[in-house]
Structure 1
Amino acid sequence: MALTGRLDGPPLAPAGNPAGAVRAALAVFSLLAPQQPGRTPRLPGVELLGERAAVMGLRRNAPWSCGGAFRTLAASDGSLGLSLPRADDLSMVPALLEHGDDPADPWAALESWTADRTAAEAAARAQLLGLAGAAVPRWQAPADEQLQHRRDVLAVPGGTSILSRPGGPRRRLRPSPLVVDLTSLWAGPLCAHLLGLAGAEVVKVESTRRPDGARTGPPAFFDLLHQGHAAVALDFTTADGRDQLRRLIESADVVLEASRPRALEQLGIDAGASVDRGTIWTSITAYGRTGPWANRIGFGDDVAAAAGLVLADGDDLLPCGDAIADPLTGIIAAVATQAALRGDRAHLIDVSMRDVAASVAGDPHDVTAAIRAGETGWVVQTVDGLIPVAEPSVRRPDCPAAAFGHDTAEVLARLGVA
């Protein structure tokens, strides 16, 4: 709650209660985690939602996101949520605006451009250029084509944030399952982190040409999510590197990946075939790995907006928390993966960040504001009385994360992949 609202205003709480959903999901994860003699997993709590902000010193910043790279823009029929977190994104703004000059104020120019288009048209144009744009749905609006696809695939009227297809019998039932983590940034690494806390052996695999972008961010946050994990770096542009990747995947009990489907195809990786051979495969994508939006890009703030997880304040739609779809999805993916590890068959677990965020979204106009208590504190009225609004906090990692590629030779030799 401390991370939602305007910088000069009170903290705001959305109707859907994301924090309550996280608390419940972590309780389920704790029940699913294997009980090992003499070892009780030290699992975190709802503070997970604000740990990145705590490390980076971020605060609520609406109408901008906490990190300043996202905001909603008024379209002719609604709102567009747009994230521009990378330097290359800003360089694409002239192409998005369909003129060659760099605007003096990119966001002011984007406001004017978006106002003349429907939200869907603006989002489609942004996605065509590789930018993370999304139309913000109206509360209880009809399902869009991607959400309808996921409902049709599952044949469940209300839909779900996870699609799971059973595969072949699991080949190994290790007490410490081997997790090959191909993900980056936040959602996937958080899933791997939780699985590691529950006793899994985690091997983080990165491309020698494109390391995890989070390595250039705050070291304390990277260390927190990757402490105790082996670090392997492979050159995916070579036949040897791709072969080593395939053999690592064959050695795994669980594979975590967060790539758009066409990226896996380019590497010659077939997730479905791996699942049929007995490997649990958890795929985390912005909108799901199948359907008309399968290859759309998305980050935590814009995907949450695409789910309707925003707050209305006057004419503005404000972001909820700090890139909230990322930690929400990482937690839900960990629960689904840990549940699969309790069974004797592999599963292809398809986790949509947008659908996870939608599952905890409520009416954007149903907002609870904190009230001032004293000179510096805020409290919120609940059925249990006045509760202080907690500032973001972060756990301390027990050790630094392994350096890029530090364990490549050892892991490949131990698993017979070298």
Structure 2
Amino acid sequence: MLVPPGRAATRARELTSTLAAVSGQMITVDGAHLLGERAALADLRRRGAVSAGGRCRLLPTADGWAAISCARPDDPLLLGALIGDELDAVNPWPALADWVRAHRGAELLERAELLGVAAGPVRHHERVHCPAPMTPRPVEGLLVVDFSALWAGPLCAHLLGLAGARVVKVETPGRPDGARRGNPEFYALLHHGHESVVLDPADSAGRSALSALVDAADIVIEASRPRALAGFGLDAEAAVGRGASWVSITAAGRASHRIGFGDDVAAAAGLVAHEPGSGTPAFVGDAIADPLTGLTAAVLAMSSPADGRGVLWDISMTDVVAGTLTTDPVPSTSQRGDSWFIESDAGPIPVAQPLSRTPIGPAADSGADTARVLESLRIPAP
């Protein structure tokens, strides 16, 4: 059994302990279990150089290894532009692997950032910027407006909801949350109890409603590059100036042009196991940068400056992962029957199978609460 480096599970438990304390025990989840929650619901397993979900791969480059995702419908076209050749939309990997093998990781990263492709060389990153929490604060009764999608941002919103916040999820007509097409139980787990609003930023009335919704929010969560938000007419600095907390989740920070998803970000940051003998890297966990970042974001959102000012939390998924890595030797493992154990100074520690909570109920259909939410906040309907 391959053991990953660092202390991701320990860090996850530290974060949920903080959330439990700040929320007055309203949040009682186990951070280590959250890391494998989606895998448990979807029955995902480790697959070596292929991610558990199958949409990211570790490929050898001319000078090392790289993690490359092909998760969105238009990714085969973008990856084809990256290598300068047309790719098979069903199986783009053989041609992509040939190109990657002949090029250095730095060139891959440069092209990926230019084209908006989720890819990067695997290397041990030093943590550059991971903000520290400020004064703890309860969020019960606060309004959270969540523009994020997939896992990290919605997990943050879910945890704030467990702590008593009112969560409004915002989608646009042309781009609903891609996680709606995934495991329905997992989507319901993260979104049950949240209100769903759909507004069109291409329409002037829709943009006005979006702006008013942000003005009403105590906490805003988003996972977009700043220029994309500007295209919606949303201004993080203005929201912070009036006292809101703005949670910005990106692959490598707001100043970076890189995009990324949980699998490629974690692997590129250095959170991979290595096959004994060959040293070939292997994925660990399921998109593990996502839950680590969601937990981190929730802890930060449940804190604020002591004087009540607004704050912009610039959260880099890469730095969150890098913050869990250490230079400590990777422990050895042993197998007894069908069970695996990690050997430690305190004795063997059993390796648990992924666990998941049971969804309390269904998630709202996209846009189901638009009229009611706008009316409750006295925002004119578009």
Give TM-score scaled by structure 2 length.
0.92
Indicate how the Cα distance of structure 1 residues 93 and 83 shifts in structure 2: closer, same or farther if over 3 A, else same: same
Aligned to 1:126: 112
Partner of 2:50: 64
For residues 127-150 of structure 1, what are the alpha-carbon distances to aligned partners after superposition, in whole Å with 9 as ceiling and x for unaligned?
32322111222x47xx6xxxxxxx
Q: Can you list the C-alpha shifts for 1:81-123, whole angstroms capped at 9, x where unaligned? A: 1111123212434323212464996323222211221101012
Is 1:391 the equivalent of 2:353?
Answer: yes
Q: Match for residue 43 of structure 1?
A: 28
**Identity of matched residues, %:** 46
DSSP-derived class of the 2:343 partner: strand
Task: Answer whether contact 1:261 1:295 (CA < 8 A) is retained.
Answer: no
* Bigger shift: residues 71-80 or 329-338: 71-80
The one-letter amino acid of 1:196's match is G
Give the Cα separation in 1 of the matches to 2:18 and 2:132.
18
Alpha-carbon distance in 1 for matches of 2:83, 2:163: 48
Aligned to 1:370: 333
Aligned length: 375
* Structure-2 residue corresponding to 1:22: 12
Q: Report the AA paired with residue 267 of structure 1.
A: F
Residue aligning to 1:192? 157
Check conservation: 2:20, 2:27, Cα contact below 8 A.
no
What is the Cα deviation at residue 369 of structure 1?
4.6
Name the structure 1 match of 2:311.
Answer: 347
1:264-303 alignment runs, 5 A limit: 264-290=229-255, 294-303=256-265
Question: Is 1:160 aligned to 2:145, yes or no?
Answer: no
* TM-superposition CA deviations, 1:247-306 (whole Å, max 9, x none): 00001111111111110111111101110111111111111112xxx2321000111122
Q: 1:382 to 1:273 in 2, by over 3 A?
A: same
Secondary structure class of the residue paired with 2:128: coil
Q: Distance in 2 between matches of 1:403 and 1:112?
A: 42
Cα distance between partner residues in 2 of 1:222 and 1:331: 17
The alignment's C-alpha RMSD in Å is: 2.3
Contact 1:165 1:347 in 2 (8 A): no
8 Å CA contact 1:103–1:109 kept in 2: the answer is: no
- Structure 2 counterpart SS, 1:397: coil
Q: Which among 167, 180, 183 is matched to residue 145 of structure 2?
A: 180
Q: Structure 1: how far apart are the matches of 2:95 and 2:234?
A: 41
1:326 aligns with 2:290: yes
Matched AA of 1:353: M
Change (3 A) 1:105 1:228: closer
Find the aligned partners of 1:211 and 1:103 in 2 and give their Cα distance: 22
Q: Does the 8 Å CA contact 1:165/1:349 hold for their aligned counterparts?
A: no
- The letter for the 2-side match of 1:398 is I
1:108, 1:378 → 2: CA distance? Answer: 34
CA positional deviation for 1:23:
0.6
CA contact (8 A) 1:80 1:123 kept: no
Q: Any idea what SS the aligned residue of 2:103 has? A: coil
Match of 1:358 in 2: 322
Q: Which amino acid aligns with 2:7?
A: N
TM-score, normalization by structure 1: 0.84
Q: Which amino acid aligns with 2:280?
A: D
State how 1:25-104 maps to structure 2 within 5 Å.
Answer: 25-33=15-23, 35=24, 40-45=25-30, 46-100=32-86, 102=88
**Alignment match, 2:365:** 403
Q: Residue 214 in 1 paired to residue 175 in 2?
A: no
Partners of 1:282 and 1:104 in 2: how far apart? Answer: 36
- 5+ long unaligned stretches in structure 2: none
User: How far does the alpha carbon of each residue in 1:203-258 deviate from its partner, in whole angstroms, 9 at most, with x for none?
Assistant: 11111221111111111001100111111111121011111000000011111111
Q: Write the letter of the residue equivalent to 2:144.
A: V
1:345-392 CA deviation, whole Å, 9 max, x = no partner? 2111110000000101235x9433532221x22222222222221111
Q: Is the 8 A contact 1:164 1:350 kept in 2?
A: no
